């Protein structure tokens, strides 16, 4: 609720207009039966001038009601859309600041639902609240008072109708309530399934898994449909029950009036407004039902959004952070001291007590068998995860202390699985350096051995990259993500198996560029092939999350059996670089 108030506050003027308009509409609705009564009396008394006069007032009231209604809806819709857009933007910005751990703990599909479906629920809640917030109490209380004022002897009919409607709707809403939370959960699952299936469409097709995928999706959709249908049934049940109660009330009113009509003939004119008031009470209760439905769904969604907004991001957790300009970043050394790490929700640590020092400007090679923790070390160095124990420091400062914006200015990582975004080659490269000139981009493309295919496109750097970079080969994607890191001219460059798809000649050229043009850059190169790191100043050998060898290539050959074994197994494949 607090969240909603914060985001609605800037629109208080429009909110006031919307509420005033809706109030006016409710007052017009309440006044209408009064003129109806006068008109009925005029008809009974056969006074045509009075019929005309009251008919005119009735028309005028209807007009006021329409204008007020349109104005109210217009402003309510403007406010609800603006509030929803503001919350969506703020939520998106917050998610952007999330750590990898936070994103993974929610799952990306869940975050998408929180940004789309949940925001829509909140928008509906704002819209409906503005339309009904004063209208419902005014109509409800006003119609009760006026109905009893019109025919005081029938007060018990009014009361009985209200009690019966409230009791039956309470029962129905209690049954509905438990389904609303379930709906959000099922939508999350639905999104996860669709996202996974579509992003892995090639695998699904090649393994002929469409049937299996369809079955899982169908099961989830079926559950979602069942829950929605149950809510629908309950809703559909509500209206006939309400109508039944109100018709019973009208019938009872008619019956009692008919017995006293001879003694009090003026009651004939009053029965029509009385019935209209009963209908208005029913309308108010129906609206109350609707708003509570939107409220139940809207508040579930608001709570989920508030959960995101309340997450502490790294920047907030650390308080004042150390500013470190790019030119002063990593001028001495990068040290890793007794670092251990366990993935969130995992049982066993994947890195154990790692320690090494890398002087600025040098190259560290990291080798090890599959699953030995090489990528995990890269993620810790890139500050995408935080070590559970031990410390990583840059020039003596713990990396978490350094302002994250400064950090990201100075560090670049090329992941094992390259990720590019839909847009152009240039727009992807500019993620590395926002204001990169065409020359700088061309230089980076050249350094990453991507010039051949980029220059072959008639539109060069402006060539479009499709969604999930489906129009690029694996090697092209890898080269472009390398170019994106190089254009940044980072102080710390982390390459996680980033040249695996390059032929030996291209890889050697990349190594030459790194050695000659990136001398001030400290490099961490993770590689499957020893040939990729053979010239590194220092190589560490990882095995089951532990360092089992440190030294240069020649030192390791003589003193690390694990390294020697890897080298022997690759001999003949990667010797070109030897």
Contact residues toward ligand ATP (CB under 6 A) are: 343, 346, 350, 368, 370-376, 416
User: Which CA distances in Å does 390 have to 276, 335, 343, 403, 493?
Assistant: 76, 11, 15, 20, 22
Find how far residue 575's CA is from the centre of its chain.
49
CB of 20 to ligand ATP, least distance (A): 54
Nearer to ligand ATP, 144 or 364 (CB): 364
Structure tokens at 558: 């003589």
CA distance linking residue 303 with residue 60, whole number of Å? 44
CB of 541 to ligand ATP, least distance (A): 11
Nearer to ligand ATP, 268 or 384 (CB): 384
Rg (CA), the chain: 35
Strand partners of residue 524? 364, 494
Alpha helix ranges (H) inside 311-400: 314-318, 374-381
SS3 513: helix
SS3 122: helix
Nearer to ligand ATP, 149 or 343 (CB): 343
CB of 355 to ligand ATP, least distance (A): 18
CA distance linking residue 68 with residue 63, whole number of Å? 8
Compute the half-sphere exposure of residue 269: CA atoms within 13 Å on the CB side of its CA.
17
Q: How many residues does the chain have?
A: 578
Nearer to ligand ATP, 18 or 413 (CB): 413
CA distance linking residue 311 with residue 571, whole number of Å? 50
CB of 310 to ligand ATP, least distance (A): 24
Nearer to ligand ATP, 168 or 500 (CB): 500
CB of 387 to ligand ATP, least distance (A): 13
Nearer to ligand ATP, 69 or 368 (CB): 368
Burial class of residue 334 (count of CB atoms within 10 Å of its CB; 0-12, 13-18, 19+): buried
CB of 126 to ligand ATP, least distance (A): 38
Nearer to ligand ATP, 369 or 427 (CB): 369
Residue found under tokens 């961490």: 524
Structure tokens at 298: 């809207």
SS3 537: coil
CB of 343 to ligand ATP, least distance (A): 3
Nearer to ligand ATP, 325 or 346 (CB): 346
Q: What does 323-346 look like in DSSP terms, one character per residue?
A: ---GGGTTSSEEEEEEEEE--TT-
Q: What share of the chain is helix, strand, coil (3-state, %, to 5)?
A: 70, 10, 20
SS3 357: strand
CB of 389 to ligand ATP, least distance (A): 16
Nearer to ligand ATP, 165 or 377 (CB): 377
Nearer to ligand ATP, 373 or 574 (CB): 373
CB of 468 to ligand ATP, least distance (A): 20
| Contact (Cβ atoms closer than 8 angstroms) between residue 393 and residue 334 | yes
Neighbours of 510 (CB within 10 A): 21
CA distance linking residue 485 with residue 379, whole number of Å? 15
Element (H, E) at 74: helix 48-96
Nearer to ligand ATP, 142 or 368 (CB): 368
Select from 382, 376, 249, 397 the least CA-distant residue to 332: 397
CB of 481 to ligand ATP, least distance (A): 16
Burial class of residue 93 (count of CB atoms within 10 Å of its CB; 0-12, 13-18, 19+): exposed
CB of 99 to ligand ATP, least distance (A): 13
Burial class of residue 356 (count of CB atoms within 10 Å of its CB; 0-12, 13-18, 19+): middle
CB of 473 to ligand ATP, least distance (A): 20
CB of 202 to ligand ATP, least distance (A): 21
Nearer to ligand ATP, 126 or 377 (CB): 377
Nearer to ligand ATP, 296 or 481 (CB): 481
CB of 107 to ligand ATP, least distance (A): 12
For residue 496, give every residue at least 6 positions away whose Cβ sits within 8 Å of its Cβ, in sequence order, or none.
Answer: 374, 375, 378, 413, 414, 415, 416, 526
SS3 536: coil
CA distance linking residue 81 with residue 154, whole number of Å? 44
Nearer to ligand ATP, 447 or 526 (CB): 526
């Amino acid at each position: 609720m607090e969240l909603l108030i914060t985001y609605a506050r800037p629109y208080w003027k429009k909110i006031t207009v919307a509420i005033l308009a809706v109030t006016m509409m409710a007052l017009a609705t309440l006044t209408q039966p009064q003129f109806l009564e006068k008109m009925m009396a005029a008809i009974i008394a056969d006074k045509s001038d009075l019929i005309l006069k009251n008919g005119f007032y009735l028309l005028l009231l209807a007009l006021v009601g329409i204008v007020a209604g349109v104005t109210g809806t217009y402003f309510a819709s403007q406010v609800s859309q603006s509030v929803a857009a503001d919350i969506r933007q703020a939520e998106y910005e917050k998610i952007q600041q999330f750590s990898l751990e936070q994103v993974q703990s929610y799952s990306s599909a869940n975050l998408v639902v929180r940004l789309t479906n949940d925001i829509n629920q909140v928008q509906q809640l704002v819209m409906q609240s503005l339309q009904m917030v004063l209208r419902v109490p005014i109509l409800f209380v006003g119609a009760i008072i006026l109905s009893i004022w019109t025919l005081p002897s029938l007060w018990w009919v009014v009361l009985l109708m209200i009690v019966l409607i409230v009791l039956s709707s309470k029962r129905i809403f209690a049954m509905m309530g438990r389904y609303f939370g379930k709906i959000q959960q099922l939508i999350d699952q639905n999104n996860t399934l669709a996202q996974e299936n579509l992003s892995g469409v090639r695998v699904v097709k090649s393994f002929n898994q469409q049937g299996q995928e369809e079955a899982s999706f169908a099961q989830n959709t079926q559950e979602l449909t069942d829950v929605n249908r149950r809510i629908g049934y309950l809703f559909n049940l509500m209206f006939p029950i309400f109508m039944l109660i109100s018709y019973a009330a009208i019938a009872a009113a008619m019956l009692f009036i008919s017995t006293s009509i001879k003694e009090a003939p003026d009651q004939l004119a009053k029965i029509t407004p009385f019935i209209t008031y009963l209908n208005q009470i029913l309308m108010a209760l129906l609206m109350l039902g609707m708003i509570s439905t939107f409220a139940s769904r809207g508040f579930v969604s608001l709570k989920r959004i508030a959960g995101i907004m309340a997450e502490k991001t790294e920047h907030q957790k650390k308080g004042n952070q150390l500013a470190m300009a790019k030119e002063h970043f990593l001028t001495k050394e990068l040290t890793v001291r007794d670092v251990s790490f366990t993935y969130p929700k995992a049982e066993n640590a994947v890195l154990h007590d790692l320690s090494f020092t890398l002087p600025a400007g040098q190259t560290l090679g990291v080798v090890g068998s599959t699953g030995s923790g090489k990528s995990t070390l890269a993620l810790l160095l890139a500050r995408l995860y935080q070590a559970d124990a031990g410390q990583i420091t840059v020039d003596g400062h713990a990396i978490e202390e350094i302002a994250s914006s400064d950090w990201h200015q100075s560090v670049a990582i090329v992941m094992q699985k390259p990720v590019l975004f839909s847009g152009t080659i240039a727009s992807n490269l500019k993620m590395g350096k926002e204001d990169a000139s065409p020359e700088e981009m061309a230089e980076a493309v050249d350094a990453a051995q991507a010039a051949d295919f980029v220059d072959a496109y008639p539109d060069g750097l402006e060539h479009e990259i499709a969604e999930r970079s489906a129009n690029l080969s694996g090697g092209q994607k890898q080269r472009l993500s390398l170019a994106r890191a190089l254009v940044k001219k980072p102080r710390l460059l982390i390459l996680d198996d980033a040249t695996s798809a390059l032929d030996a000649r291209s890889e050697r050229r990349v190594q030459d560029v790194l050695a000659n043009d990136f001398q001030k850059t400290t490099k961490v190169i993770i590689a499957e092939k020893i040939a990729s790191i053979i010239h590194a100043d220092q190589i560490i050998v990882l095995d089951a999350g532990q360092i089992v060898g440190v030294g240069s290539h020649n030192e390791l050959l003589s003193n690390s059996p694990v390294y020697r074994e890897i080298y022997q197994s690759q001999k003949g494949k990667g010797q070109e670089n030897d």
